[in-house]
Amino acid sequence: MDPALCRTYVRGAIRRTSQKENKLSTVQTQFITVNCDNPECGKIATFAATEQGQVEAREDHPWLTTLRGVGTSDGRQLSYCSDECEAKGIGLGAHNKAQRKRIITEANQAHINQAAQAAQQSREATKALREGTPVTLS
């Protein structure tokens, strides 16, 4: 083998070796965080995104084995730790589609009185329904 070619080969090998030694070794770890979407609950579990991490999380947080997932029509994903939390979420209207607030900026006293009367009728109808009495909607 030609000595000049041999030196070039050795220099290249040394250069590649030194470049590898200067690189930092990195380990990428991903985590999964699961929480109950009931605002009154507050259960949160964070674990490594591996099979072992999931097994450990189920042992540490038994509620993960009965996690309920709810998808809404507008694409939101909700999760609940129990039937009670899901029922509370339904009661709070968390599953309902968010509606744009309508604010009337130009209102006179007649509009204000009409809105107040409609709100009062709505409260009375809701109260009657809860008490089990008949309600007439107009």
Residue with tokens 């009661």: 91
**How many Å apart are CA 67 and CA 109, to the nearest integer?**
51
What is the tens place of the pLDDT at every residue in 43-69? 988 888 888 988 898 899 898 888 888
pLDDT tens-digit profile of 3-15?
Answer: 444 444 544 444 4
| pLDDT recorded at residue 18 | 44
Residue 122: what pLDDT? 87
How many alpha carbons lie under 13 Å from residue 129 in its C-beta half-sphere? 8
* Residue 58 lies in domain: 31-92
Q: Is residue 85 part of a domain?
A: yes
Residue at 2 is within a domain: no
Strands of 1-138, DSSP E:
31-35, 44-48, 68-71, 77-80
Please say whether the beta carbons of 79 and 67 come within 8 A.
Answer: yes
DSSP code of 126?
Answer: H
pLDDT recorded at residue 17: 45
Predicted confidence at residue 138, as pLDDT, reads 63
Each residue's pLDDT tens digit, 90-125 = 888 888 887 777 777 777 888 888 889 999 988 888
Q: Would residue 5 count as lying in a domain?
A: no
For residue 49, tell me if it sits in a domain: yes
**Is residue 113 assigned to a domain?**
no
> What's the pLDDT score for residue 131?
85
